[in-house]
A and B are shown apart, each in its own frame.
Chain A
Amino acid sequence: MALIELQNVTYHYPYVKSAALQDISCTIEEGKFYGIIGENGGGKTSLCNLLRGLIPHFYQGKLEGKVTIAGTDVMEWDTGKLAAKIGYVFQNPFTQISGIKETVFEEIAMGLENLGVPKKEMVDEVLRVMKLLNIEELMEKNPNALSGGQRQRVAFASILAMNSDILVIDEPTSQLDPQGTQDVFEIIQMLKASGKTIILVEHKIDLIARYCDEVIVMQGGRIVKQGPTAEVLSSPELPELGAVAPQVSQFGHAMAAAGMPLDHIPITIEEAIELIQKQKGAAK
């Protein structure tokens, strides 16, 4: 089922001549995991703002085309209800801490307070999310005194606690170490398994390759490629579109150039192993 539908959307931020988004059409289906990749300044964050309804509710500017969220035109949505429906975690972890709570526990509970969740439920939910993100040891700490990586996880937890159906996540791992990043992807995978729809902006292409169902490539404010992950990421034109191909895909292209093409271009390690073994078998 189409959850969010964009039809020929063009958008200008206020007082800016050039369009931040140009002729965007795409469909976000329920329960799928989307990866948005591409160059910086190419419109990834603007697309997130649009999907989250911040364009046009928060940013004024000029919006053309049609945006439908869960069957209702975005203009008719109440901003508060939209916030509850679509969770949004964005890049800078420093601005996402409320600044008015004295402990991480209270910080994570804040969204639930706003939603009017009864206290007992609120406490259980916060505990559950902290356990999920493995940040229980931060519980009693002051959120204003955390490191970038810790804040990033607390910001993520604060949105997860609100249990929205759709999650728009803009580079949630930029401050995290490789293991921490891997953990976040595992959690997103779990959220997807529980039926949530996920839209993720990330530069870490190898993880996009492993986890996403669909990939959207953005360049110069346009969607220049979209489709199933394997199809998009194995495409040889990816570098021209300002995106990096997964390591194993680059390897696949290099093998072809070296005169030993694999059956097709792999995007994950498992796939590559299979293809190499198949190639070896054929050679014998």
Chain B
Amino acid sequence: MYSEFVQKFLDYQTYGNPFKDLNPLSKLNLLLVLAFIPLVAQHTVFAFCLCIGYYVLAVYIGEFKYFNGIFTKVAITVLLFLLILRQLTVEGTTVLFSVFGWKWTLEAVLKALDLGGIILGFSGAIILFYASTPMRDLMYALEQKGVSHTTSYIILASFQTITDLNASVNTIFESQKARGIEVEGNILTRVKAFFPILSPLLLGAMSSAEEKSIAMDARAFSIDTNHSFLRELRPVPRWEKALVLGANVFFVAFCVFRLLQMFVF
């Protein structure tokens, strides 16, 4: 009899949420279709509706906080940049208000929203993908499609390194404090502490790279047999394949329709 924790590995990895449980590649495909629609459609209202749709999905998969955190930042940056840029480049007649004689026009705002909608419609899809898919699930799916085990390892390990560096910084901080280097206090003190903190961090990362590759070699990374997987995602169900196919057919048809609209009509 296995504990609940161990039993989980014997079954397929599922999250109990139909959207999250989509195969990462199907999910990516569906979200990319959504991402490109605003660009093809060139319809601002639709683009912003889509963003609301992303929010609904984010709430549905229980990742509202993560999604909102990143999306808001992206949205503010993009919109602010575009609004200012368009005010400088677009000549409008309907003045909304003026700042120290600088007139903001409705036309420029609308232009900014046009492009902003396309960009946000696209970024929202990508953020939502990351919010709903652990990296290791994506790598698993890619390995199933023939991506090498080593490539997958390098990508996953790079992500982990970023987390690890954080922990190392703390240890190095303490270790330098312990011999008398002030690392807290005013800007000048902090700047002075920069070198003693950064150098061990970088040197450590470099010197451990060689050992790490030996360690991974010791785990038979380079052996020429088929790998097995402790964590397995469910095989892609037929309805999911149909859904992806349908979405792609729809997208291609929509593109063709838009092209005809542009050139023929």
Contacts and interface: CB of A to CB of B under 8 A. Distances in A.
A–B interface present (Cβ within 8 A): yes
Interface of A: 52, 54, 58, 78-81, 83-84, 87-90, 92, 94-96, 98-100, 102, 105-106, 109-120, 122-123, 127, 139-140, 144-145, 155, 158-159, 162
Given A100-B157, A123-B6, A139-B5, A159 B164 contact: no
28 contacts: A79-B217, A80-B221, A80-B223, A80-B225, A83-B217, A83-B219, A83-B220, A88-B214, A90-B214, A95-B215, A98-B153, A100-B160, A106-B230, A106-B231, A111-B219, A112-B228, A113-B227, A113-B228, A115-B225, A116-B228, A117-B228, A119-B9, A119-B230, A119-B232, A122-B230, A123-B9, A144-B164, A159-B219
Given A90-B211, A92-B211, A105-B5, A110 B219 contact: yes
B261 to A, nearest CB: 48
Contact of B223 (A114, A122, A140): A114
Contacts of B226: 116
Interface of B: 2, 5-6, 9-10, 136, 149, 153, 156-157, 160-161, 163-164, 167, 208, 211-232
Nearest to B222: A80
A162 B219 contact: yes
Tell me which of B136, B163, B219, B230 has the highest count of chain A C-beta atoms within 10 A of its own C-beta: B219
Pick the 8 closest A-B CB pairs, nearest first. A80-B223, A95-B211, A100-B156, A111-B219, A99-B160, A80-B222, A114-B220, A88-B218
A96 B215 contact: yes
Contacts of B229: 113, 119
B208 A114 contact: no
Nearest to B228: A116
A217 to B, nearest CB: 25
Contact of B219 (A54, A102, A158): A158
Contacts of B230: 106, 109, 112-113, 119, 122-123
A127 B220 contact: no
Contacts of B164: 99, 144
Contact of A114 (B2, B6, B149, B231): B149
A92 B226 CA distance: 30
A102 B160 CA distance: 10
Given A113-B228, A123-B2, A144-B160, 20 more contacts: A52-B218, A83-B218, A83-B219, A83-B221, A95-B208, A95-B215, A99-B160, A99-B164, A100-B136, A105-B9, A109-B230, A111-B220, A114-B219, A114-B221, A115-B220, A117-B228, A123-B6, A144-B164, A159-B218, A162-B220
Given A79-B222, A127-B6, A95 B212 contact: yes
A90 to B, nearest CB: 7
B151 to A, nearest CB: 12
B160 A116 contact: no
A83 B228 contact: no
B2 A80 contact: no
Contacts of A140: 5
Given A113-B227, A139-B5, A100 B153 contact: yes
B71 to A, nearest CB: 26
A79 B226 CA distance: 16
B136 to A, nearest CB: 7
B217 to A, nearest CB: 6
Contacts of A95: 208, 211-212, 215
A106 B228 CA distance: 12
A116 B164 CA distance: 29
